[in-house]
Amino acid sequence: MNPDYDKIAEVPIDIAVRNEIGRALDLDEIGLVPGAVGQLLAAKDDYRDAITRSREQYVYNLGRSAEVGAQYIISAIQSEEKSSCISTSGSLRNFSARASMYALLCLICCGCGRTTT
């Protein structure tokens, strides 16, 4: 965990939901672990429901994130191609951006990172 997380305005998701979907203990509370585990097991159905609610609220495109991410990148590339300038410097810059997006798309889909289309 980032030791400076408290300097960032947004609360990290693991901090925000940790007591909703489980139980957070400080290091000096290590002796409370057996009791905390017992409480979690006793209320496992409640925690299962809380975990499901948190997942539905915070996790997008569960099981489809690669597909949705790839489609987003393809749309961004197509949008960039439609609005790209004809100037030489613009073409080179846009080519570089497109090549980077294609490489990212390939990493998402198959992991190879090739820049060929």
pLDDT, tens digit, 9 for 90 and up, residues 51-78: 999 998 888 888 888 888 888 888 887 7
- Output the pLDDT for position 36: 94
**What pLDDT, on a 0 to 100 scale, did the predictor assign at position 88?**
43
The token pair at 75 is 């749309």
- Give the model's pLDDT for residue 87: 43
Q: How many CA atoms lie within 13 A of 96 on its CB side?
A: 5
pLDDT of residue 63: 87
Angle subtended at Cα 90 by Cα 86 and Cα 93, rounded to the nearest 5 degrees:
140
Question: Residue 46's CB: how many other CB atoms inside 10 A?
Answer: 10
User: What are the residue ranges in the chain where pLDDT is below 70?
Assistant: 1, 80-117
Q: Judge contact between 24 and 12, C-beta under 8 A.
A: no
